[in-house]
Amino acid sequence: MTRRARFGITMLAAALSLLPPAACGRGRDTEPARRYGLGRPATSAEIAARDIDVGADGQGLPAGSGTAAQGEVVFSQKCASCHGANGEGKLPAYPQLVGRDPIAEGFPFGKTPGLRRTIGNYWPYATTVFDYVRRAMPQSAPGSLSNDEVYALTAFLLAANRVIPVTSILDSASLTAVRMPYADRFVRDDRRGGRGVK
């Protein structure tokens, strides 16, 4: 390799190293990533206190259990005032939770405007019911339910939607095993821009 060729490569490498990490126009508007030593290590207790998420694979489900019968009692005490005695909801503020209206069966939501989506006719994962109720409900006292109460409410809502038998007992294993009627209808986004409408 000639000296001139080596010089060219060196200059090219130097020029490339100055390029911005992302497309930010002319010049660089971000610093390189490095460790700045800011913040502090999170303790395992701090992580455990916040790490409440439950995956569709059951990861994160806590110990505990509940039945639909127990859930019906909790629902009437803590949920029915907003969602109605039978989970019929008070629209638009409080969604309908229960309902397997024949018109809405078969997932015709794209074709037919105005159909009500419920846990039974729409939600793809049973674990989401547990995760959401534990996070957010009841609205007047979020985070106040015990894990057993959340299992019981999940059992009640799934049984009322005719997804599981009313005699079911839900715990981490049995909840993970529940398959929702329309889980296979959910598809990943295929829009990519460019010509055409999707």
Partner 1 sequence: MTDPIRLLGAPTSAVGARAAGVHPVRTPTGEITGGSLTPLQDLTGTITPADLHFERHHAGVPLIDPARHTLLVHGLVDRPLMLSLDDLKRFPQVTRVHFVECSGNGEPGWRAGIFGAPNPGLTPQQIAGLTGNSEWTGVPLRILLEEAGAKRDATWFLAEGGDACLLARSIPIQKARDDALVVWSQNGEPLRPEQGFPMRLLLPGWEGSTNVKWLRRLELGTRPWMTRWETATYTDPLADGTARQFAFEMDAKSLITSPAFPETITRGWWPLTGLAWSGRGRIARVEVSTDAGTTWQDAVLNLPVRSKAHTRFTHMWEWAGQETILLSRATDETGYVQPTRADLIRVRGAGTLYHWNPVYGWKVAANGRVFFHGAT
Chain positions contacting partner 1, by CB under 8 A: 22-23, 29-31, 33-36, 38-42, 46-47, 50-57, 92-93, 106-115, 117, 119, 122-125, 127-128, 131-132, 135-136, 139, 142, 185-195, 197-198
Tell the smallest beta-carbon distance from residue 22 to partner 1 (Å).
6
Distance in angstroms (rounded) separating the CA atoms of residues 111 and 144: 39
The structure tokens listed for 78 are 């803590």
Distance in angstroms (rounded) separating the CA atoms of residues 81 and 16: 64
Nearer to partner 1, 3 or 34 (CB): 34
Nearer to partner 1, 146 or 167 (CB): 146
Distance in angstroms (rounded) separating the CA atoms of residues 55 and 188: 18
Contacts of 158 (CB under 8 A, 6+ apart): 68, 119, 120, 126, 129, 164, 168, 170, 178
Tell the smallest beta-carbon distance from residue 42 to partner 1 (Å).
4
Distance in angstroms (rounded) separating the CA atoms of residues 182 and 122: 6
Q: Which of 130, 187, 136, 137 is nearest to 164 (CA)?
A: 130
CA 44 to chain centre: 24
Tell the smallest beta-carbon distance from residue 39 to partner 1 (Å).
4
Contact 166, 159 (CB under 8 A): yes
Nearer to partner 1, 13 or 114 (CB): 114
Tell the smallest beta-carbon distance from residue 91 to partner 1 (Å).
12
Nearer to partner 1, 46 or 101 (CB): 46
Nearer to partner 1, 80 or 117 (CB): 117
Nearer to partner 1, 10 or 59 (CB): 59
Tell the smallest beta-carbon distance from residue 3 to partner 1 (Å).
38
Tell the smallest beta-carbon distance from residue 20 to partner 1 (Å).
11
